[in-house]
Amino acid sequence: MKKLVVSLSAALMLSASIAEACTRVVFHGDNNRNITARSMDWKTDIGTNLWILPKGVERNGEAGDRSISWKAKYGSVVATAYDIATTDGVNEVGLNANLLWLVESEYPSLASLSEKPTLAISLWAQYMLDNFETVAEAVDFLKTEPFVIVTGEMPGETRLATLHLSLSDATGDSAIIEYINGEQVIHHSRNYQVMTNSPTYDKQLAMNEYWQQIGGTTMLPGTNRAADRFARASFYINAIPRNGSQKDSFASVFSVIRNVSVPFGLNTEEEPNISSTRWRTVVDHQAQLYFFESAISPNVFGVDLKKIDFSPKADNVKRLALGKDQSQIYSGETSSEFVVTKPFTFLGVTEEELQTEIAKQTAAVKSLNTEDQAQLLENESSH
């Protein structure tokens, strides 16, 4: 089991040299046709498969003895990362959850929150899908800060997973959840239609005001930088027709998420670590449709959640294997092509590993306090 850790400094230094890039947009159409799209950009294949996860499943936070526990209220269709984490998905009542990279993420200290339940970051999105129907319901719950997120090393890497979470639902509501300087920050509004990566969401909004004043028909930034993708997505998602047919709305939303994607295999001398768009998903919340598009497959295919049996049976856990680089070709509606499979195991941390990290954090805090006291005494003696 890959060790989970809760220190952030190493992650910030290592992630600075690697440009991870994803984008998420929410379209508000007429007749309550609300559609969410996201792109998954990564330097290497993240081993994504699609899974049907039924309701009624007992889960826990996979983060030591204090792990939060729950029973899934809703079934869901999810896209995994390495088959150890849910990174994208929609549940049977229309809530969509997406995890995107945010290098500024800093999760709460376990040492200072010794009594609060823990949740491994691999289960963050899944917890939302299992338990909530609407964004408002999820936000009300999260405001109570019911658990501590425990992050960990990316598979095959030494840097930590630094992620933020977006939620959207059938009403078109939206929320962005980030952890900045160890504090949870929630941005909740139907107007928060776009999320990318760095900088933090409040700064993204401020930067986008500049481009809104210029106007998208005058000039839009064209690079693959997160702030540029944010500006383009924000303009285009509100410039496409709202009253189109379902087919036309899908085409428009796919066009927007493709516009902010990164060409597959892009590699420049100036930025050799740019991530390519590996796949895209589009969710029609009202119609309960989940579409998937791989960068190297010729077809878009879909899953109709209305055709899925989400009842709590072991043989209702099913997988659609996408192959290396998600190169397996599917077409049309694919719910019948999922195969009964043993559930994947979410990446977690043992109690021993957790206690080791808590001890390190406690020692680090004591060391800082000692240094601060010494500096204070030195300052007083100099006056």
pLDDT value at position 219? 80
Per annotation, catalytic residue among 11, 18, 19, 22: 22
CB distance 168 to 26 below 8 Å: yes
Q: What percent of the chain has pLDDT over 90?
A: 66
Q: Per-10-residue mean pLDDT for the chain, 383 residues long?
A: 40 44 94 95 93 97 94 98 97 97 89 83 98 98 95 80 95 97 96 94 90 83 88 95 94 96 81 82 97 93 98 95 95 98 93 81 68 58 60
By DSSP bridging, strand 118-120 and strand 148-150 are parallel
Tokens coding 79: 């896209």
Q: What is the pLDDT of residues 237-254, one digit of tens each?
A: 999 999 999 999 999 999
Q: Which secondary-structure segment (H or E) carries 78?
A: strand 76-81
Number of H helices, E strands in the chain: 7, 20
- Report CA 373 to chain centroid distance, whole Å: 40
* Separation of alpha carbons 273 and 263, rounded Å: 13
Region of residue 275 (phi > 0: left; psi between -120 and 50: alpha; otherwise: beta): beta
pLDDT value at position 2? 43
Q: What is the pLDDT of residues 78-119, one digit of tens each?
A: 999 999 999 999 999 999 999 999 989 999 887 777 689 999
pLDDT value at position 265? 84
Tally Cβ neighbours within 10 Å of residue 89.
25
* Separation of alpha carbons 177 and 183, rounded Å: 10
pLDDT value at position 376? 58
Q: What is the pLDDT of residues 339-383, one digit of tens each?
A: 999 999 999 888 888 888 778 877 776 666 665 555 555 565 665
Q: Residue 276 burial by CB count (10 A; 0-12/13-18/19+): exposed, middle or buried?
A: buried
pLDDT value at position 3? 42
* Separation of alpha carbons 141 and 127, rounded Å: 12
- Specify whether 22 is catalytic: yes
